[in-house]
Structure 1
Amino acid sequence: MTGKNDNARLIDVELDETIGQSTPDIEHERAVAIFDLIEENSFSPVGDTDGGPYRLRLSLVEKRLIFTITRESGELVATHILSLSPLRKTVKDYFLICESYYAAIRSATPSRIEAIDMGRRGLHNEGSQTLMNRLDGKIEIDFDTARRLFTLVCVLHWRG
């Protein structure tokens, strides 16, 4: 990659106060999810001819996830509002299978753990694809970035 495409990425992700604070464990998971997302991503608002890098501020308003995208300088690039309804079932199922996975680690056979983990990864991929589809025409992201964003969406919903 050369030129403008090198800057088609996030350099900062901030959670708005509408997200709220949670337990120290969940705050740690949120921080890890943000770190992973910033560490490696491909992120480009559709129609932005000036290029990034970008800062992303996430807010939650009435069960909608608001993406406020700015340049490194703080100049507003775009704001997108994404209903979380299409992700609700996948996130719920993902949490259920994660609980099964963590319970299995303590007592199940390796083959059972592997089977549950495959299901867990499958649901994660499904949620990531749904997120990519919902952002289509708004923000260009690759699948790995969609996976990291889906992880962050899950952590935002995790109540501990």
Structure 2
Amino acid sequence: MAGNSAQRLCDVVLDDTIGRSTPDVEHERAVAIFDLLEDNSFAPEGHDNGPYKLYLSLVEQRLVFTIKTEGDAPVATHILSLTPFRRIIKDYFMICDSYYQAIRSSTPSQIEAIDMGRRGIHNEGSQTLMDRLSGKIRIDFDTARRLFTLVCVLYWRG
């Protein structure tokens, strides 16, 4: 899918009514959006007229994916419960806190061990997101990883 320029995101917008967060979280958001726009695979089921703009927001403890074409024509809106993500996000935040503390004061081997755990939890969240979007939006695992980072940023700020 990555080779098809129509099946990709050309813009990602996070709900900014939630406000800003810590510098570490804002850095994660900026990197995830940059990486996502550089390389992604994104295809709403039944729609082949991309590239797409994705608006991510939290509404009443639900994750909202609003998809539009590059020209702002509505494509679809998908609303996902956050319940399947809550434990994963909570674990991810705890290990991220440990990671940010470790990079300031721990040995490289300690940092590497924490980072391996962080990546494992992140992969679990990414797979959960892919599963929840199945039948709605086709994405590859790298795209799911970057989107999961953005979900975490929204959740953290919300």
TM over 0.5: yes
| Equivalent residue, structure 2, for 1:142 | 140
User: Is 1:89 aligned with 2:87?
Assistant: yes
- Match runs of 1:100-139 below 5 Å: 100-139=98-137
Gaps of 5+ in 2: none
Distance (Å, rounded) in 2 between the aligned partners of 1:38 and 1:84: 24
User: Is 1:37 aligned with 2:45?
Assistant: no
Q: Which of the pair has more CA radius of gyration?
A: 1
| Equivalent residue, structure 2, for 1:56 | 54
Distance (Å, rounded) in 2 between the aligned partners of 1:2 and 1:58: 21
What TM-score, normalized to structure 2?
0.88
Task: Map Cα deviations across residues 87-106 of structure 1 (whole Å, 9 max, x no partner).
Answer: 11111101111111222223
| Equivalent residue, structure 2, for 1:12 | 11
Q: What SS does the aligned partner of 1:56 have?
A: strand
Considering only aligned residues, what root-mean-square deviation do their CA atoms show, in Å? Answer: 2.1
Contact 1:21/1:27 (8 A) holds in 2:
no
Distance (Å, rounded) in 1 between the aligned partners of 2:57 and 2:105: 39
Task: Map Cα deviations across residues 28-75 of structure 1 (whole Å, 9 max, x no partner).
Answer: 543332222112110000111x32100111121111111111111111
Name the CA shift for 1:14/1:106 in 2 (closer, same or farther; >3 Å).
closer
Contact 2:2/2:41 (8 A) holds in 1:
no
Superposed displacement of residue 2, structure 1 = 9.5
State percent identity of aligned pairs: 71
Contact 2:126/2:144 (8 A) holds in 1:
yes
Kindly provide the amino acid, as one letter, of the partner of residue 69 in structure 1: I
| Equivalent residue, structure 1, for 2:153 | 155
Superposed displacement of residue 151, structure 1 = 0.7
